[in-house]
Structure 1
């Protein structure tokens, strides 16, 4: 007789309807210690689980894949995935269980490519701190806080936080994709460092030379690296980051053009306006007016002739 795989909402609990609970938060020892740190193979029909091991390690099975991994690491277990865990006794970290369909629906609207991440089992070793891994624990703790209260809009807040958390997981997963040549991963890591520096300093109008010096390469090497990996020069990458911020502030704030120019490190409004027009084909005022008209337009009017 074939052995059936138990179907649980949370391990050891009888399966519940998908609508009965939108998300649950706990720490690994809460659920695993009572079972001697070993969770037998089982499946959740409606729930996705995300585990973030901060201490210890685990022997994990996800469908037909078995792997032993040490903290720090992420385990993504979509609904319908047969899974089991054998944790080391000092293992700790947060676990979130959530109804998967609402998350997929939300992802389909705000980031369609995130749906594939939600549906794909994954074991992601975190081999170093990045701007993405540093964002994980604050988001987990925010979900924990929301799970502890019973207030209006709890599901909306929880699902939004979970979506943000899964976006970080997706970013980490993409950055960890294996490549056939080790040099490719080194170049990707250098680009990631450049982007992190750029996020921190783009308002100061640092030169290409300044970023290159910080990265330990020459300006020419940084430009060649950007062209190879991103398809544009290092200066174009810097300017694109400034334009992204400028356009966002023009649409979503009431800051004046003069104030925006100063905030982005430009000497004066005229210099900023020339820069903006060169890269967008519009003056900042023209861009703001047209963008706000588009935002305010009825949904069925967008794209109408």
Structure 2
């Protein structure tokens, strides 16, 4: 298998990267990038709105069937590939963190959106008809501003993008959680901490301390909202990163173990097999996209 999965930058996908955003009709985008069906990851944030077509999209080893009205959000670093029908269409938006934050001047504000937490399932949302209409209208407005309006008012493009993101977040939060409870907010903070600290912090007590709650309370909230313990949530993130590293490049198993703070290659292999049913070598050899 191909063990090296490229990281695509914004400049890979657009003629000019000075403004750090690309938006296109999805059918046209696929035609221009017809060779990109191989597994790859991005250094930028990625949005796809599906208005028609079918097929499937694989994100971080999770397979999602495509239906009209879906919107996909992908954070930098996630691995994906796809197989779409010939009539698939919609919109694609790629932008980097600097483009977004240069407008809001809020560090890491984009990572506060629930769909950009790095969890594949949270980034795939089915929009109801009214919201889909609003999202497609905003997407077309952004497309026209970026590609056909001269001069381009870049602050306006950022405003449109922010409107789209906040509109989906507002609607999705109400649909999935009603009023955002303190326990739900705690889970999201916990997951954001895991995203940055999973390689160095393995114990729920370390995260509980940062969140100003007891380990027991954190565990109860995780079981309530996620169906498993706080420790399992941490381990799941370690396993995901191990899978990414195993298919992304030619690092040895020992190098991957050390990069994930395992002091012993044998312990890493046992840990990985316990959670996946395969050894790292078997996963690397058998992984099929």
Structure 1 residues 85 and 176, CA gap change in structure 2 (3 angstroms): farther
Q: 2:18 aligns with which of 17, 20, 30?
A: 20
Please give the alpha-carbon distance, in whole angstroms, between the structure 2 residues aligned to 1:3 and 1:111.
Answer: 31
Larger Rg: 1
Instruction: Note if 1:82 corresponds to 2:83.
Output: no
- The CA deviation at 1:81 is 1.5
After the TM superposition, which parts of structure 1 deviate over 6 Å for at least 4 consecutive aligned residues? none
Structure 2, unaligned runs of 5 or more: 179-289
Cα deviation digits, residues 265-302 of structure 1 (max 9, x gap): xxxxxxxxxxxxxxxxxxxxxxxxxxxxxxxxxxxxxx
Cα deviation digits, residues 81-123 of structure 1 (max 9, x gap): 1111211111110111111233256557599587333633511
Aligned length: 174
By relative contact order (CA 8 Å, sep 6+), the higher-ranking structure is: 2
- The CA deviation at 1:56 is 0.9
Structure 1 residue aligned with 2:129: 129
Structure 1 residues 101 and 88, CA gap change in structure 2 (3 angstroms): same
Please give the alpha-carbon distance, in whole angstroms, between the structure 1 residues aligned to 2:51 and 2:2.
Answer: 37
Structure 1 residues 95 and 105, CA gap change in structure 2 (3 angstroms): same
Structure 2 residue aligned with 1:190: none
Please give the alpha-carbon distance, in whole angstroms, between the structure 1 residues aligned to 2:36 and 2:17.
Answer: 28
Instruction: Note if 1:157 corresponds to 2:162.
Output: no
Structure 1 residues 137 and 144, CA gap change in structure 2 (3 angstroms): same
- The CA deviation at 1:173 is 2.5
> Would the aligned equivalents of 1:25 and 1:147 in 2 still touch at CA under 8 Å?
yes
- The CA deviation at 1:164 is 0.8
Structure 1 residues 68 and 40, CA gap change in structure 2 (3 angstroms): same
Structure 1 residue aligned with 2:243: none
Structure 2 residue aligned with 1:138: 137
Structure 1 residue aligned with 2:98: 101
**Counterpart secondary structure, 1:76:** strand
Cα deviation digits, residues 20-47 of structure 1 (max 9, x gap): 33211111222324666972211111x1
**Counterpart secondary structure, 2:37:** strand
Structure 1 residues 175 and 105, CA gap change in structure 2 (3 angstroms): farther
Please give the alpha-carbon distance, in whole angstroms, between the structure 1 residues aligned to 2:42 and 2:34.
Answer: 21
Instruction: Note if 1:117 corresponds to 2:114.
Output: yes
Question: C-alpha root-mean-square deviation of aligned residues, in Å?
Answer: 3.5
> Would the aligned equivalents of 2:145 and 2:152 in 1 still touch at CA under 8 Å?
no
- The CA deviation at 1:171 is 2.1
Structure 1 residues 33 and 52, CA gap change in structure 2 (3 angstroms): same
> Would the aligned equivalents of 2:111 and 2:117 in 1 still touch at CA under 8 Å?
no
